[in-house]
């Protein structure tokens, strides 16, 4: 799926999250399992879906945490 199409959907797969953040699939899964990135399970196989707004909120928190960490050094 083209990158622009991914950004126009409300819910993203973990594969989408992986592509957007340029991380591995195990890193995307770990973000969700740890609770750092809020997600829901859907369907009979319990596939994870991340609301676009939750991904944006995660990114904002990551920037804030990075800023705090950089200011402490």
Tens digit of pLDDT for each residue in 15-64? 999 999 999 999 999 999 999 999 999 999 999 999 999 999 999 999 99
Q: Of 26, 33, 21, which is closest to residue 59 (Cα–Cα)?
A: 21
In terms of pTM, does the model score above 0.85? no
CA pair distance 56, 39, nearest whole angstrom: 12
Question: Can you read off the two tokens belonging to residue 64?
Answer: 């804030």
pLDDT at residue 1 above 90?
Answer: no
The beta-strand segments (E) located in the chain are 11-13, 40-42, 47-51
pLDDT at residue 4 above 70?
Answer: no
């Amino acid at each position: 799926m083209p990158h622009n199409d991914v950004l126009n959907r409300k819910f993203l797969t973990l594969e989408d999250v992986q592509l957007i953040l340029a991380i591995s699939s195990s890193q995307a899964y770990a973000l969700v399992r740890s609770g750092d990135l809020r997600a829901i399970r859907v369907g009979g196989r319990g596939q994870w879906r991340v609301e676009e707004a939750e991904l944006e909120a995660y990114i904002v928190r990551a920037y804030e945490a990075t800023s705090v960490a950089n200011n402490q050094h």
